[in-house]
Structures are given as C-alpha cells and as structure tokens.
Amino acid sequence: MSEQLDQILSHYQGENREIANVDEPQCSLVLFKQAGNNFAFYGSQIKEIMAERPVSWVPGCPPSLEGVINHRGRVESVININQLIDAPSQDVPGKRTILIGRGTKMQSGIQVDKLIDVLEVAESQIHPSADNLSPAMQKIVVGIVPVGQEYFALLDMNLVFERYLETSGYESHS
C-alpha cells in the first residue's frame, strides 16, 4: 500500500498548485428565536445587544409597543415583534434579550425570546425569501439564511419599523 501512496505523491510532487484566494462579500447577522421560529437581523442594523431589563408599560400604547426602558440616560421604546410577525404573544420562561435596532427613520429596542448567535456569513448564502410566507411576513422578510441544519428568516430593520408604524396607527412620514 505504501508503494501506491508513493506513486500518487510523486505524481503530484512536481506540480505547481496554487490555492485560489476568493474574497467573497460577508455580512454579520444576529440570530434569534421568537415565538418558536428562527429569525435574523443584519448586524449593521443592530446598535447594541442588551440583557433583559425592566420594561415600563406606558398607558395608551398600541399592543405592539411593549413599553420603554432607560438606556444610557435615554428613554428607548421596546417593540414586541410578535404582533408584526402574526405570532401569538406568549410568556417565555427565562431571560429575554433586547436588541437596540437602528433604521433610517427610527431607533427602538426589540425584545426577543432568545439570542442564538452573532456570526459572519457569505452574502451568497442569503437566499430570496419564499413566496409562501404569510402576508405580514412578506412585508418584513428579505431572505432566508441556512445556518447548520436550520433556516433563519432574515428581517430588514427598516421594514420592521415601517410595519410597526403601520400596525400601531402611526403614519410613516417619508
């Protein structure tokens, strides 16, 4: 057997093989679980990831607004995206995470059930979103990302904020 191996190695020994270095565009994603489903935001749209903290309820708020928090001396709204993805509101055991998202027109906290990971993926790994999504999901999902054995619906923060403004009764001022 070593004679066969020596023949194979000697065959390739004289070759000049170069490794092709391909710089593929990458993007950062924040992966999380909400209402039992996998979602992701572009990392560039997440300003900060915070451990759970008390959210103060504000009377007269729409159901999609969880309340407000004190974040670095500023009052920051906290959105409940269950309303935006047509998922039932549910009490989740354990600590939840607040993602501070920044869009072009607004900034807000978004409370998620479970932060999974922050990772870099090749942009070519982001596939177009499926046509069989619910109408509410079609308005905010911009792609599907395979990670390991699971798939994550990629949400665009600007579309999430637009949907929030639509469903909460606020007008989006363009």
Over residues 26-69, the pLDDT tens digits come to 999 999 999 899 999 999 999 999 988 889 999 988 888 889 99
Asked: is 20-168 a CATH 2.40.128.20 domain? The reply is no
Classify 173 as helix, strand or coil: coil
> Amino acid identity, residue 138?
Q
Nearest one of 97, 100, 82 to 137, comparing CA atoms? 82
Comparing 70 with 172, which gets the higher pLDDT? 70
Residue 17 is predicted with a pLDDT of 57
**Are the C-beta atoms of 134 and 19 separated by less than 8 Å?**
no
What length does the chain have? 174
> How does pLDDT run across 13-37, given as a tens digit for each residue?
655 556 555 678 999 999 999 989 9
Ranges of beta strands (E only) in the chain are 26-34, 37-42, 46-51, 65-71, 74-80, 97-102, 107-112, 114-122, 141-147, 150-155
Q: Which two tokens stand for residue 161?
A: 């904020």
Residue 15 is predicted with a pLDDT of 57
Sign of CA dihedral 113, 117, 119, 122: negative
